[in-house]
Structure 1
Amino acid sequence: MSKFKSEKVLPRYLAVAVLLTLIGVAVIVKAGYTMTAKKSYWETVANRQKSDSDSVRPNRGNILSCDGQLLASSIPEYKIFMDYQAGGNADTVWVRKRDSIWYADLDSLCRGLNVIFPERSAEEFKARLEEGKHKIMRNGSEGARHWAVWPKRISYNTYCEVKQLPFFNLPSNKGGFHAESFETRRRPFGSLAERTIGDIRSFEGGKDTARFGIELSYDSLLRGKYGIERKQKVLNKVVPFTLTPAVDGTDVVTTIDVGMQDLAEQALIEGLKKWDASMGVTILMEVKTGDIKAIVNMRRAENGQYYERFNDAISYRCEPGSVFKVASFLVALDDGVVDTSYVIHTGCGILNMHGAKMKDHNWHRGGYGDINVARALEVSSNIGVSYVIDHYYGSNPRKYVEGLYRVGIGQDLKLPIVGYLPPKIRMPDTKTSNRALYWSKTTLPWMSIGYETQIAPINTVTFYNAIANNGKMMRPRFVKGFMREGQMIAETQPEVIKEQIAKPSTIKTMQTVLRHVVSQGLGKKAGSHSFQVSGKTGTAQVAKAGGYKTGTTEYWLSFCGYFPSDNPQYTCIVCIKKMGLPASGGLMSGGIFHHISEGVMAKSLKLSVTDARDSTSVLIPSVLKGDNNAAGYVLRQLGVNTSKVSMASVDVKAGKMPDVTGMGARDAVYQLERLGVKVKLSGKGFVARQSIAPGTTLQTGMSCMLELK
């Protein structure tokens, strides 16, 4: 065995190691150079590469109203570009021909673009196109690869017009004209229920993203599934072959009623303008099913107009105010601690509650004195409600809060719409470092009248809807079902959250009280002369910028109720937010509620033709003198039994003048001329007088003047 000679081997290893290190460094340097200095060049090369298969985009599903009207649908839009290096840059026959066609057609091309897009002149288009043609790219080549011809998206019809222009009508791989397609959602009814329906945002490359509302919540169904298409070259033509067909998106059928939605929007906007409010919310719910027939969210913009910007109906949690008092008394009545006859001493309208002053809204007029529980709700007495709750639940506030959850006002509705926020009702004896959640002695009385809680309008209307529905609480339903190719493939069923939120007797008692709130309490403005309304008003102060004393005070005004009271069909809540006085939930929100309820009942009123018949009227017609045979024929065709019809006959005696007074002109002329009497008429209507007296002996050539009136 030969001896290992380190003086020869080690230098060789060292040389190999140095060589490999240099190669590694060179690879890293080259990679860095490619990733930085040559980045744009290789991106251009990559863009030129065509895959042998492409994805096929499906059509996005439509969103429909409850009666099948189109609320949202997809239409294609395009951005148009020029690739000035299409067909190559080498000095070939085609490139020279392409350039000659370009300069020959450029002027007519620009004039055509000016006709389609009059906002820009032909000269401006020419300058723009020339700029792109002579642009020097980073790799040193001349001519932009993706030069925008027009900065905005255009419709399909406009795209077809542009594609017919000179030079643009050449194949894209030769002329260079090409387009990017985008899917744009269009709502035929404009901004109607905009935040609930939702929207999608399209990005470069044709990608789209659902943003909010039903579009986002049901995006996986609406989007559909992409297909795969393979391209093969056949006889010098690229022919696409479908490998996997695209599956179009499913249509979503909502519970929204277009007519009711439009009515609610108009009523709310008019009310917001009238009372100079900054924000408003309206929800209309069908009692038996929980279907949301209308949902409106309006905020005032800087230009003074109102738009839907946020889905406040499901996400704006705030102190609900006096509409919460119904939940407080429902707990007390259901627990049996009081009944509606229980008398409360409200005094002069001011009561000391654990060191803080509780006031009724009429304290400056001397208060309500002694009132019972039912009257306390009718006049919305703060003292009446807070005294009962503090007196009977002060030693065990947890029982009261658990009662609120039991009656459903604190229920997490688990809505399918993205953005929903469940109620925040604090629980006593909860360990927390958040001072806003501390439980103090004043928490219970102020919570009982709608403060120190955070509840969105959708929870309030769901609670009142349960009272209207005899205690059965329904989950708000926004979607009725799903359709494909015009056929319903799945339906969502109304869902019961709670079978009974309180004892049936308690519910009946509360229904009576809520009816009295409108008929003889503070909710009179919400009532109607055509049907009975039940509900409750609410007015809450909202502190801004420094608190109630130092800052500006806003008011959250609401009315929540149902109609008609004897057979509830719909539950509705109207909330508005305004700054400064006057501020009245009954007057302002109740007034808007009045317009919505009357409009909804008028639209849903459907009468049979038989309902319009007066039962006291005579249905058998009386027939005047005339041609009885003709009259009988007409009556029989109308289905009238002629045997019961009294038809006046004309007494015609041979050679005598008949009495034709009371007859129509046509019948009178017929009767006289058949007897050989010539007739002259004056006036219009029925025969009032005749110049030849009845019974006169007729002679040849006689003439009779008939006066009609």
Structure 2
Amino acid sequence: MLWRTYLVYFGISLFALVILAQVIRIQTTQREDWLQQAREQTMKFVNIDAARGNIFAGDGSLLATSIPIYEVRMDPNRDVIPDSVFNKKIDSLAWHLSRLFDDKPASVYKKEITRARRSGNRYHLIHRNVRYTELKAMKSFPIYRRGRFKGGLIFTQKNRRVKPFQVLAARTIGYDREGIQGVGLEGAYSEYLEGVGGKRLMQRISGNVMMPVNDENFIEPKDGYDLLTTLDVNLQDVAEHALLYQLRKHNADHGTVVLMEVQTGKIKAIANLTHQTDGEYGETYNYAIGESTEPGSTFKLPALMAAMEDKLISPDDSVDTKSGKTRYYDRIMTDAHHGGFGKVTVRRAFEVSSNVGVSLVINEAYTKNPSRFIERLRAMGLGRTLGVEIPGEGKPVLKDPTDKSWSGITLPWMSIGYESTMTPLQILTFYNAVANNGKMVRPRLVDEIRQRGKIIRRFETEVIHEKICSESTIKEARRMMEGVVENGTATNLKNSIYKIAGKTGTAQIANAKYGYRYETGISYQASFVGYFPADKPAYSCIVVVNAPSNNVYYGNLVAGPIFKEIADKVYAGSLEMHNAVNLAQAKKPKALPKIKVGMQEPTDHVLSALKINPDKSEKDASWVIPNYQDSLLTLKKKSIADELGNGYIPDLSGMGVSDALYILERNGLVVEITGSGKVTRQSIPPGTAFRWGQTINIELS
């Protein structure tokens, strides 16, 4: 029995020795490994999002930006805030918090903070979604003003995307959200806008909450690049309001407007509005880029241009529109004008938008060789996507005689805008090419990509098609479009100040289930596309209104007024479109105008309009400062972008308030202004390093 007792003692001793050996092993050879695992369980690096780049309009107006939003917490424990401070200041702190956020009484704030102190909570939530100005105020509150390590104030920053102009061009600006495909410019240029994220060391505390170890980031995030778009906020506002008015007036389903510079392809305004379930209109889909529909009568221009280019017709040829009806196999084509127009020229048939006249001309020209018609249309740049920056471009459909769906009535119906589909922007691009003497340019929405004012990439005008057709065809096409407004279907757009050229369009809308006839009747699409001034085209524009429902559906009456309102506003605000008054005096002004320090491009634009050519010491300066000597005006480079890019405050002397606000706020400074006029004093001296969120006071006089 004794040997059994010894055996038990021996076993226990051996087991104890094994445990002791393992403890020694863990404390020595495996010590660092276990400590590292413990650290990994309680501490880890958390990704910090970079501030997404800003999106600007062409004039520098802010279209989309990221603003800092903070989550504020507190460590109220005794080793941070001694009883002598806490007991004396907690009532005052609670009162300030209640007054700032106005969400609960001071007594509740005091109760919650005191409870957190007693329970040992080192990461007590004070408030979420705190603005920078609110956080700045909190730092001056009792207890908090002692700083984080003595006052217990803890905050983490997140960025919230906002659109200062709210719904203005909302769909075109778009959004970029995690887990779903981006939309608009936010989605298309996300790789430039998103920046490079940083990292911050966080510690897991009780309640499985992650708390920052300190106020510093381990890796600082790098802010995203900025986009300078081609959009003009004033013209965008005009386009959206004009479209909204007509949509409401005619109780339409949706509509779109695009305004574009003829020579450059820069889109100055793009509006898309949809009738929503709540009865209001909003931007939910980019119809200008994404919706490919049968264009209707606006397609008559490329159809007739194809025949003119192939030398098969002349605008002065005669065509008999009969009684306004003609038969193609078992289908009857009719004109909107009851009784037809009789015998007219091709030009006149286009001006009055005769379906019968145009279809007869095209059918006779190409009936034996319809492939030639399609080939000519494709040669003029139709039937292909434009490759615009924003994803989701609708695919155009231009049938070919080899297609199974091609029939005996395809050619005549295609000539008047059916059995083919195009997006509004694709139609506009063709008309823009006609206005641009045959040169087709790619529409674009972005001018530059910038980093703190420095140009990273500049987008130039891109030519898609150097010449869509001959000069003679372009000349005749432009004369025909002028005729539409002067004495055709769009005489309501005619005015005595400047000329408009374009084409009306009224198309029946096909439905996949019911065809062209819905259970509630026929639905129409009204449009107008053209350019102005007709004698020297500067802008092209298209307006498309889908399903107007108050018994008015013609393009000239529904879409035309939108076009004219936009054209009138553009013309009124464009000095270069107006005939010069007292030109001789303008060339030699009695006194040079007083200008402020500002951006070179708008400064050059204004001086050019006044016929003043200043001497430039720097040709490629972003910002310039005027220098007057006798009768000579010199624009000298002002190195604002370089200074800001290096993290230093520039000299703002002489700047206007809009320019000063623009450069300071886009670099994260909070600006406070007093006075009016030019900048005469700044609270942070030039050459001083600044930090994001810092406040600067500027005085104007």
TM-based fold match above 0.5: yes
**Residue 479 of structure 1 corresponds to which residue in structure 2?**
446
SS in 2 for 1:192: coil
Indicate which of 339, 345, 352 corresponds to 1:372. 345
What per-residue deviation string (whole Å, max 9, x for no partner) do you get for residues 421-447 of structure 1?
A: 23122323236xxxxxx2222222222
- Distance in 2, Cα, partners of 1:80 & 1:240: 13
- Distance in 2, Cα, partners of 1:607 & 1:593: 17
Q: Cα RMSD over matched residues? A: 3.7
Indicate which of 43, 49, 71 corresponds to 1:50. 43
Shift of the 263–549 alpha-carbon distance from structure 1 to 2, 3 Å rule, reads closer
Q: 1:280 aligned to 2:273?
A: no
Offset of 1:104 from its aligned partner? 8.2
Answer whether contact 1:57 1:246 (CA < 8 A) is retained: yes
User: Greater shift after overlay, 372-381 or 295-304?
Assistant: 295-304
Answer whether contact 2:250 2:549 (CA < 8 A) is retained: no
Q: 1:405 aligned to 2:378?
A: yes
Q: Which amino acid aligns with 1:555?
A: Y
Offset of 1:193 from its aligned partner? 1.6
SS in 2 for 1:60: coil
- Spell out the pairing of 1:584-623 with structure 2 (5 A cutoff): 584-605=554-575, 611-612=581-582
Superposition TM-score, scaled by structure 1 size: 0.68
Offset of 1:172 from its aligned partner? 6.7
Answer whether contact 2:43 2:202 (CA < 8 A) is retained: no
Offset of 1:228 from its aligned partner? 5.6
- Distance in 2, Cα, partners of 1:148 & 1:381: 72
SS in 1 for 2:285: coil
SS in 2 for 1:333: helix
Offset of 1:278 from its aligned partner? 2.8
What per-residue deviation string (whole Å, max 9, x for no partner) do you get for residues 126-162 of structure 1?
A: 788799999xxxxxxx898987655x62311123344
Answer whether contact 1:133 1:144 (CA < 8 A) is retained: yes
- Spell out the pairing of 1:639-654 with structure 2 (5 A cutoff): none
Indicate which of 276, 295, 299 corresponds to 1:324. 299
**Residue 40 of structure 1 corresponds to which residue in structure 2?**
none
**Residue 62 of structure 1 corresponds to which residue in structure 2?**
54
- Distance in 1, Cα, partners of 2:581 & 2:420: 49
**Residue 194 of structure 1 corresponds to which residue in structure 2?**
170
Residue ranges of structure 1 left out of the alignment (5+ in a row): 1-44, 88-92, 135-141, 202-206, 432-437, 616-638, 640-709
Indicate which of 529, 539, 551 corresponds to 1:560. 529
SS in 2 for 1:196: helix
- Distance in 1, Cα, partners of 2:376 & 2:576: 41
Offset of 1:170 from its aligned partner? 7.8
- Distance in 1, Cα, partners of 2:87 & 2:314: 93
Q: Which amino acid aligns with 1:487?
A: K
**Residue 190 of structure 2 corresponds to which residue in structure 1?**
219
User: Greater shift after overlay, 311-320 or 176-185?
Assistant: 176-185
Shift of the 579–110 alpha-carbon distance from structure 1 to 2, 3 Å rule, reads farther
- Distance in 1, Cα, partners of 2:39 & 2:375: 64
Indicate which of 335, 341, 357 corresponds to 1:384. 357
Residue ranges of structure 2 left out of the alignment (5+ in a row): 1-37, 204-211, 586-630, 632-701
Q: Which amino acid aligns with 1:421?
A: G
SS in 2 for 1:115: helix
Offset of 1:542 from its aligned partner? 1.8
- Distance in 2, Cα, partners of 1:127 & 1:426: 75
Offset of 1:490 from its aligned partner? 2.4
**Residue 247 of structure 1 corresponds to which residue in structure 2?**
222
Answer whether contact 1:555 1:580 (CA < 8 A) is retained: no
Q: 1:539 aligned to 2:506?
A: yes
- Spell out the pairing of 1:394-473 with structure 2 (5 A cutoff): 394-430=367-403, 438-473=405-440
SS in 1 for 2:509: strand
Q: Which amino acid aligns with 1:571?
A: S
Q: 1:504 aligned to 2:474?
A: no
SS in 1 for 2:530: strand
Indicate which of 551, 556, 561 corresponds to 2:519. 551
Answer whether contact 2:175 2:183 (CA < 8 A) is retained: yes
What per-residue deviation string (whole Å, max 9, x for no partner) do you get for residues 319-359 of structure 1?
A: 11111111111111111111112222221111111201111
Q: 1:309 aligned to 2:284?
A: yes
SS in 1 for 2:288: helix
**Residue 96 of structure 2 corresponds to which residue in structure 1?**
112
**Residue 350 of structure 1 corresponds to which residue in structure 2?**
325
- Spell out the pairing of 1:116-155 with structure 2 (5 A cutoff): 116-122=100-106, 149-150=126-127, 153-155=129-131
- Distance in 1, Cα, partners of 2:116 & 2:213: 28
For these two proteins, the number of residue pairs brought into alignment is 538
Answer whether contact 1:168 1:177 (CA < 8 A) is retained: yes
**Residue 624 of structure 1 corresponds to which residue in structure 2?**
none
- Distance in 2, Cα, partners of 1:570 & 1:421: 23
SS in 2 for 1:611: coil
Answer whether contact 1:290 1:477 (CA < 8 A) is retained: yes
Shift of the 428–606 alpha-carbon distance from structure 1 to 2, 3 Å rule, reads closer
**Residue 576 of structure 1 corresponds to which residue in structure 2?**
545
Q: 1:157 aligned to 2:133?
A: yes
Shift of the 609–319 alpha-carbon distance from structure 1 to 2, 3 Å rule, reads closer
- Distance in 1, Cα, partners of 2:124 & 2:83: 17
SS in 2 for 1:199: coil
Offset of 1:484 from its aligned partner? 2.2
- Distance in 1, Cα, partners of 2:564 & 2:324: 30
Offset of 1:401 from its aligned partner? 2.0
Answer whether contact 2:199 2:220 (CA < 8 A) is retained: yes
Answer whether contact 2:359 2:415 (CA < 8 A) is retained: yes
Q: Which amino acid aligns with 1:520?
A: N
SS in 2 for 1:516: helix
- Distance in 2, Cα, partners of 1:120 & 1:218: 43
- Distance in 2, Cα, partners of 1:379 & 1:467: 20
SS in 1 for 2:535: coil
User: Greater shift after overlay, 397-406 or 353-362?
Assistant: 397-406
Q: Which amino acid aligns with 1:583?
A: Y
Shift of the 111–384 alpha-carbon distance from structure 1 to 2, 3 Å rule, reads same
Offset of 1:109 from its aligned partner? 5.2
- Distance in 1, Cα, partners of 2:472 & 2:466: 15
What per-residue deviation string (whole Å, max 9, x for no partner) do you get for residues 566-606 of structure 1?
A: 11111011111212521110122111111111110110125
Answer whether contact 2:174 2:186 (CA < 8 A) is retained: yes
Q: 1:260 aligned to 2:235?
A: yes
- Distance in 1, Cα, partners of 2:425 & 2:39: 52
What per-residue deviation string (whole Å, max 9, x for no partner) do you get for residues 398-435 of structure 1?
A: 3222222222232310111122223122323236xxxx
Offset of 1:477 from its aligned partner? 1.7
- Distance in 2, Cα, partners of 1:404 & 1:414: 19
Offset of 1:520 from its aligned partner? 0.5
Answer whether contact 1:56 1:228 (CA < 8 A) is retained: yes
- Spell out the pairing of 1:292-303 with structure 2 (5 A cutoff): 292-303=267-278
What per-residue deviation string (whole Å, max 9, x for no partner) do you get for residues 668-706 of structure 1?
A: xxxxxxxxxxxxxxxxxxxxxxxxxxxxxxxxxxxxxxx
What per-residue deviation string (whole Å, max 9, x for no partner) do you get for residues 519-559 of structure 1?
A: 01001122322111110000112245734334233221110
Answer whether contact 2:313 2:365 (CA < 8 A) is retained: no
- Spell out the pairing of 1:229-244 with structure 2 (5 A cutoff): none
- Distance in 1, Cα, partners of 2:141 & 2:72: 13
Superposition TM-score, scaled by structure 2 size: 0.69
Q: Which amino acid aligns with 1:461?
A: L
Offset of 1:505 from its aligned partner? 0.8
**Residue 649 of structure 1 corresponds to which residue in structure 2?**
none
- Distance in 2, Cα, partners of 1:281 & 1:334: 31
Offset of 1:56 from its aligned partner? 5.5
Rg bigger for which structure? Answer: 1
**Residue 69 of structure 2 corresponds to which residue in structure 1?**
77
- Distance in 2, Cα, partners of 1:376 & 1:268: 29
